[in-house]
Amino acid sequence: MMTSSLFRTFLILLVGCLVQNQAHAAAKIDVTALTERISEIVRAQFVDEQVAHKTADEFLEKAQSGAYSAVSGPEDLASQLTDDLRAISGDTHIGVVYDPNSVARYRAREAAKQIVAAKERDSANRRAKIAEAKLDNFGIRAVEVMKGGVGYLRIDYFDGHVDESAPVFTAVMDLLASSRAIILDLRRNGGGNSRILPLFLGYFLGPEQVHFATRQERWNGNTEKLLSRADVKGARHFDKPIYILTSGTTYSLAEHVTYHLRAFGRATVIGERTYGGGNGWDPVVLDDQFYLRIPRISFTNAHTGTLYTEGEGITPDIAVNAAQARHRAYAVALEQLHSTTSDPQTLEEIEWAQRLIQQQGEDTSPVRPDDLPSLGTFGQFNFKGTADDLWLSYRDLPFVKLEKIGPGLYLDDRSIQQQILFPDPEITDSASLTVMRYGEASRQITRDPD
């Protein structure tokens, strides 16, 4: 059996090889050409024309002043470019990504529209992504019907493979068929692909098709009405109260689902204010190494004629910290069901559940570890706590607690899962860390000076 010290040595050697290979693979970067290309795309395609010109001008001026000439390494360059683009535009989706593998995949997708051989490569890429999504259950983490007839559904991201995920949603919605109310847990959901919206919302809006939003793209002049589907398979729940759980890390498409269901009077939002990322983005290849996440798609709700404010998010109807949100939603759902039910057997069932949750009480653990010691900042990663109680804030998002899965090894299990390895198991004095994401090259990040 491998000892913990051998296990750590193996991991560190493996990660070192991956990082070294990544460094060797990175070609010389033409920063001038790269930043000019970014400015050009932002000006032509960013969702808001006024912000597009402002961002393109200020970003290019900064680049021409030499702000990026001394940046070492493609990852650091991508990170700094992203920070500046977000600071100027105020949009949290825009960003530069160093990922030669994804660049090759995006190019294959475009070439597949014309070239037979490229179509085969694109099909292989798609099959691999679908297989990965199936292994991850298309982002669905948990489903159950609790005492009193309250359903619970946790989704950590919304996958865009609509046809492939449809049978899974059919099974999930059938499992919830006996529920009288549903809690939809989006507290750790960082978004996904908007292609899933008509299918998913079709289970909660209806019974006929509902025009729930309009999608607009300034860069190509396209406008599209988005309609919920009335032909979804499995049980539908458009006549049941919905309670959506949110946190400060509920983001992007998860916010769209929350906003649309509440705007149509279908949901009560319980938890924390969401992060506030409303614009949809597409990848645009910059060169052989980098691509740009360009927000070029806007959405407006068909009922309100607007959407939540970028950077501000959605304010909950019942504000509690994220750790307490499920308990509070369960109690609210049971109280509402009790007040609208006259059947003696159903009332007895609900009262039984109410006594149980009263005894259990709320989770009073902190959502943000304000009283815990700082463990330093590593680029975009800010840590607090101890080796056994570690909390992470990534890119200034609210802190989330990490799961310890080995000596100095932690799991961040939000929508984009990542494992974080500290060379020093006690982590307090670690000078660097390694971030590992499935299917991507590992990144080694040094600690910022105090």
Beta strand extents in 251-388 (DSSP E only): 267-271, 280-285, 290-301, 318-319, 374-378, 381-386
Residue 370, Cβ density class (10 Å: 0-12 exposed, 13-18 middle, ≥19 buried): exposed
Maximum average pLDDT range among 257-266, 319-328, 432-441: 257-266
158 with 253, same domain: the answer is yes
Q: Is the pLDDT of residue 10 over 60?
A: no
- What average pLDDT does the segment 176-181 reach? 98
The amino acid sitting at 432 is: S
With respect to residue 96, please indicate whether it lies within any of the assigned structural domains.
no
- The pair of structure tokens assigned to 12 is 């560190």
- What average pLDDT does the segment 172-201 reach? 97
With respect to residue 369, please indicate whether it lies within any of the assigned structural domains.
no
Q: Return the pLDDT at 363.
A: 61
With respect to residue 11, please indicate whether it lies within any of the assigned structural domains.
no
Q: Is the pLDDT of residue 116 over 90?
A: no
Residue 344, Cβ density class (10 Å: 0-12 exposed, 13-18 middle, ≥19 buried): exposed
220 with 168, same domain: the answer is yes
Confidence of residue 173 (pLDDT cuts 50, 70, 90): very high
Q: Is the pLDDT of residue 142 over 70?
A: yes
127 with 147, same domain: the answer is no
Q: Return the pLDDT at 440.
A: 74
Averaged pLDDT of the chain: 89
274 with 152, same domain: the answer is yes
310 with 325, same domain: the answer is yes
Q: Is the pLDDT of residue 374 over 50?
A: yes
With respect to residue 200, please indicate whether it lies within any of the assigned structural domains.
yes
- The pair of structure tokens assigned to 230 is 């009335």
- What average pLDDT does the segment 95-110 reach? 90
- What average pLDDT does the segment 273-297 reach? 95
Q: Is the pLDDT of residue 269 over 70?
A: yes
Confidence of residue 70 (pLDDT cuts 50, 70, 90): confident
442 alpha carbon, distance to own chain's centre: 20
Q: Which residue has the higher pLDDT, 311 or 78?
A: 78
Asked if 295 contacts 279 with a C-beta cutoff of 8 angstroms, the reply is yes
In sequence order, the 6+-apart residues with CB closer than 8 A to the CB of 416 are 157, 190, 437
In sequence order, the 6+-apart residues with CB closer than 8 A to the CB of 238 are 203, 204, 205, 206, 207, 266
The boundaries of the domain holding residue 387 are: 374-446
420 with 347, same domain: the answer is no
The total of structural domains in the chain comes to 4
Q: Measured over all CA atoms, what is the biggest interatomic distance in the chain, rounded to whole angstroms? A: 75
Distance CA 441, CA 371 (A): 35
With respect to residue 18, please indicate whether it lies within any of the assigned structural domains.
no
265 with 402, same domain: the answer is no
Q: Return the pLDDT at 368.
A: 60
CATH number of residue 274's parent domain: 3.90.226.10
- What does the pLDDT look like over 214-225, one tens digit per residue? 999 999 999 999
With respect to residue 314, please indicate whether it lies within any of the assigned structural domains.
yes
Q: Which residue has the higher pLDDT, 90 or 413?
A: 90
Please count the other Cβ atoms lying within 10 Å of the Cβ belonging to residue 7: 14
50 with 150, same domain: the answer is no
301 with 427, same domain: the answer is no
Distance CA 361, CA 381 (A): 33
Q: Return the pLDDT at 118.
A: 63
Confidence of residue 1 (pLDDT cuts 50, 70, 90): very low
79 with 228, same domain: the answer is no
Q: Is the pLDDT of residue 442 over 50?
A: yes
- 344 upstream amide cis, omega within 30 of 0: no
Distance CA 49, CA 43 (A): 7
- What average pLDDT does the segment 277-290 reach? 94
Asked if 199 contacts 229 with a C-beta cutoff of 8 angstroms, the reply is yes
With respect to residue 336, please indicate whether it lies within any of the assigned structural domains.
yes
Q: Return the pLDDT at 8.
A: 53
